[in-house]
């Protein structure tokens, strides 16, 4: 979850490191630090809090040097304090390390090192690793890092420098993303391409168990055992402008408003109108396999799990195939029943989510075919699955996912269409579905054009301490997602429920102070949700309802409504999700919350 950046080249490193960390601050913002080699040793500067605190410290002195590493932290081991901030140094002060991940056997290593006379200044597992590398150091930083990592259990993305080798940065990964940037006479390492995009578009993606050694004359990739392996150089397609705010006050708002374009990008090139189907060659699934496939498991975390639930409704209704949705964090620990007739679909915006990656590996071990729906090209999940589909949503910087969610639902609609046409769906039904899909971007734009109406509704929620989101059918997962968004960025406790389940407990919480948000388009279960609204009103609850344009019945019942355009029932989450994103955003802004960097959260969860 932390941000890592390293540099070797002719320019002053500090400003390059700080700029890179600024691009990655969404990955962690509890503390930050840099270590720069200045010819006399290692100069380390770090600070608790956001990156601005580090910049202020650095501004009080000059940190010169053309080789260095930088880090922005999301705390795991140890509180977010300056002593726990990275970089950490070895016992003799000659080696500095930054680290993303968790060293699971840090306690036993620390105990052994303490018995040998080591003392520690922090509560982190990273400092233990720094001391371990220091113990192994005998003139080669590369070999010391390889030796230390052979003793480590857990996940890591690391970058290491030594005062005794002032022209070298060594980096390695296992379960945490890391890439090499190849510039013109300069080289970079980073956990995210955004950190180095200003300087180069040429990158090498490291795989688990691989290391890279950066020097002034180039770079070399190896494993912990083998001295050299060849890796392809990839080109990043997007540019720096896509990760700037572009005049919007927050990345989250910008990304909400990008959804018409991002969904068009997800759909582009995949729809076959004449055939009423979808072209998804990247899935690498033959018609023969799809005919033999007996069930689908979709595994994901957080927002991606909510999109997976929507996919379950789509696939079961249109393709008539059994679907289970699993929390990736639980999947591999419960001995799932998986075989070669099971398709496992993993959904992850970053393509690096540790739990989802572990679930995919477990599924493959048990013989399942795996498919990934990810947004980040070259990510670990994208490289490890048997096939997949890129969302093409563009970089998502806001910690609370918005456009990735709707693009995931759109991608699942494509998968559903492809599978359904091979099973029961007619050409005419397929064409109808495609027509509705192609209208979605324009319908979302019509919702966004009315954003001030949602901003006005936010006044009804800003002082709440609790909120309830209720939906039925395919919009039940939208209720879950709406509640999650409100929790994430406004810190209001919110829960999502199937509307009928409200009677089995949550109804006890309803009073005049709790907003109850109904997702109530005019679909097959409309009459049922009208009854649920009546039940809330009878208890004095304040109802805000998302309704289909022209629904006067709920309009007369609810305290406030927001109408959305009509579409197919199964595609309605692509529309109902957007006003809830805007609602959470405007509530958070009115409450003075940091929308793009909500407390305790990070964008990419690369630890279990």
Each residue's pLDDT tens digit, 531-546:
989 888 888 889 999 9
Last-in-domain residue among 392, 420, 448:
448
Number of domains observed in the structure of the chain = 3
Same domain, 161 and 253: no
Give yes or no: 459 in active site: no
**Catalytic residue (choose from 2, 301, 461, 593):** 2
Say whether 42 sits in a helix, a strand or coil. strand
Same domain, 186 and 260: no
Last-in-domain residue among 201, 236, 271:
236
Give the model confidence (pLDDT) of 330-358 as tens digits. 998 888 888 889 999 999 998 988 899 99
Q: Are strands 271-272 and 277-278 parallel, antiparallel or unpaired?
A: antiparallel
Domain CATH for 24: 3.60.20.10
Angle between helices 125-136 and 141-149 (to 10 degrees): 130
Last-in-domain residue among 426, 448, 470:
448
Tokens of 81: 């304090």
Q: H-type helices in 93-234, by residue range?
A: 106-115, 125-136, 141-149
Give the model confidence (pLDDT) of 262-272 as tens digits. 999 999 999 99
Mean pLDDT of the chain: 91
Give the model confidence (pLDDT) of 76-96 as tens digits. 767 778 888 899 999 898 999
Q: Which residues have CB under 8 Å from 390's CB, separation 6+?
A: 282, 374, 375, 377, 382
Same domain, 400 and 345: yes
Same domain, 499 and 372: no
Rg (CA), the chain: 25
Task: Say whether pTM exceeds 0.75.
Answer: yes
Under the banding of pLDDT at 50, 70 and 90, the label for residue 240 is: low
Question: Is the pLDDT assigned to residue 604 strictly greater than 60?
Answer: no
Same domain, 437 and 530: no
Select from 409, 374, 423 the least CA-distant residue to 481.
409
Residue with tokens 């005419």: 428
Same domain, 322 and 423: yes
What's the pLDDT at 13? 94
Give the 3-state secondary structure of 554-566.
Answer: HHHHCCEEEEECC
Report the largest interatomic distance among the alpha carbons of the chain, rounded to a whole angstrom. Answer: 78
Tokens of 374: 């990810």
Same domain, 414 and 435: yes
Under the banding of pLDDT at 50, 70 and 90, the label for residue 112 is: very high
Show the domain range for 323: 242-448
Same domain, 148 and 279: no
Residue with tokens 């609602």: 583
Give the model confidence (pLDDT) of 466-492 as tens digits. 999 999 999 999 999 999 999 999 999
Domain CATH for 357: 3.40.50.10490
Q: Cα(602)–Cα(517) distance, rounded to whole angstroms? A: 27
Q: Cα(480)–Cα(309) distance, rounded to whole angstroms? A: 10
Same domain, 310 and 440: yes
Same domain, 454 and 443: no
Same domain, 103 and 148: yes
**Catalytic residue (choose from 46, 110, 254, 603):** 603
What's the pLDDT at 602? 59
Distances (CA, A) of 310 to 315, 323, 361: 9, 11, 24
Select from 541, 485, 472 the least CA-distant residue to 508.
541
Same domain, 246 and 171: no
Give yes or no: 593 in active site: no
Q: Cα(132)–Cα(141) distance, rounded to whole angstroms? A: 12
């Amino acid at each position: 979850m932390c941000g890592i950046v390293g540099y070797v080249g002719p320019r002053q490193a500090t400003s390059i490191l700080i700029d890179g960390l600024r691009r990655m601050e969404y990955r962690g913002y509890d503390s930050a630090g840099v270590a720069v080699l200045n010819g006399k040793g290692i100069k380390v500067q770090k600070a608790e809090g956001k990156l601005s605190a580090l910049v202020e410290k650095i501004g009080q002195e000059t940190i010169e040097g053309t080789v260095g590493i930088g880090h922005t932290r999301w705390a795991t081991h140890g509180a977010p304090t300056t002593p726990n901030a990275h970089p950490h140094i070895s016992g003799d002060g000659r080696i500095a390390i930054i680290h993303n991940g968790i060293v699971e056997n840090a306690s036993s290593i620390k105990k052994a090192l303490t018995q040998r006379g080591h003392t520690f200044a922090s509560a982190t597992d990273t400092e233990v690793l720094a001391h371990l590398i220091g113990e192994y150091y005998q003139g080669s930083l590369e070999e010391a890092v390889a030796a230390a990592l052979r003793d480590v259990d857990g996940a890591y993305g690391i970058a290491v420098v030594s005062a005794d080798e002032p022209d070298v940065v060594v980096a390695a990964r296992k379960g945490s993303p890391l890439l090499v940037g190849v510039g013109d006479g300069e080289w970079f390492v980073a956990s995210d391409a955004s950190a180095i995009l200003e300087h180069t578009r040429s990158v090498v993606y490291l795989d688990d168990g691989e290391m890279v050694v950066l020097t002034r004359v180039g770079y070399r990739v190896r494993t912990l055992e083998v001295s050299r392996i060849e890796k392809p150089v990839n080109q990043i397609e997007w540019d720096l402008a896509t990760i700037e705010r572009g005049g919007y006050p927050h990345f989250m708002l910008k990304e909400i408003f990008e959804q018409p374009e991002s969904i068009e990008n997800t759909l582009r090139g995949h729809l076959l109108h004449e055939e009423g189907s979808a072209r998804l060659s990247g899935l690498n699934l033959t018609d023969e396999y799809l005919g033999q496939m007996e069930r689908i498991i979709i595994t994901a975390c957080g927002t991606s799990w909510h999109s997976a639930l929507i996919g379950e409704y789509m696939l079961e209704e249109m393709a008539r195939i059994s679907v289970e949705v699993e929390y990736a964090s639980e999947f591999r620990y419960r001995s799932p029943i998986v075989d070669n007739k099971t398709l496992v679909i993993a959904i992850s915006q970053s393509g690096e989510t540790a739990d989802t990656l572990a679930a995919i590996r477990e599924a493959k071990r048990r013989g399942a075919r795996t498919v990934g729906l990810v947004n980040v090209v070259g990510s670990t999940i994208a490289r490890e699955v048997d096939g997949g589909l890129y969302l093409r949503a563009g970089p998502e910087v806001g910690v609370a996912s918005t456009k990735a969610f709707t693009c995931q639902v759109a991608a699942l609609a494509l998968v559903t269409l492809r599978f359904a046409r091979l099973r029961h769906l007619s050409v005419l039904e397929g064409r109808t579905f495609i027509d509705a899909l192609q209208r979605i971007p324009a319908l979302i734009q019509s919702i966004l054009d009315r954003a001030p109406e949602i901003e006005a509704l936010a006044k009804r929620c800003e002082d709440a301490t609790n909120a309830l989101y209720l939906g039925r059918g395919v919009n039940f997962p939208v209720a879950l997602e709406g509640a999650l968004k409100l929790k994430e960025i406004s810190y209001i406790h919110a829960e999502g429920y199937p509307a009928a389940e409200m009677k089995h407990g949550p109804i006890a919480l309803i009073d005049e102070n709790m907003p109850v948000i109904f997702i109530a388009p005019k679909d097959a279960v409309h009459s049922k949700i009208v009854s649920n609204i009546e039940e809330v009103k009878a208890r004095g609850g304040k109802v805000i309802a998302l309704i289909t344009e022209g629904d006067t019945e709920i309009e007369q019942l609810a305290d406030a409504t927001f109408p959305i355009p009509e579409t197919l029932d199964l595609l309605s989450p692509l529309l109902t999700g957007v006003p809830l994103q805007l609602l959470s955003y405007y509530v958070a802004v009115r409450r003075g919350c940091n929308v793009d960097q909500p407390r305790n959260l990070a964008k990419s969860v690369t630890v279990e």
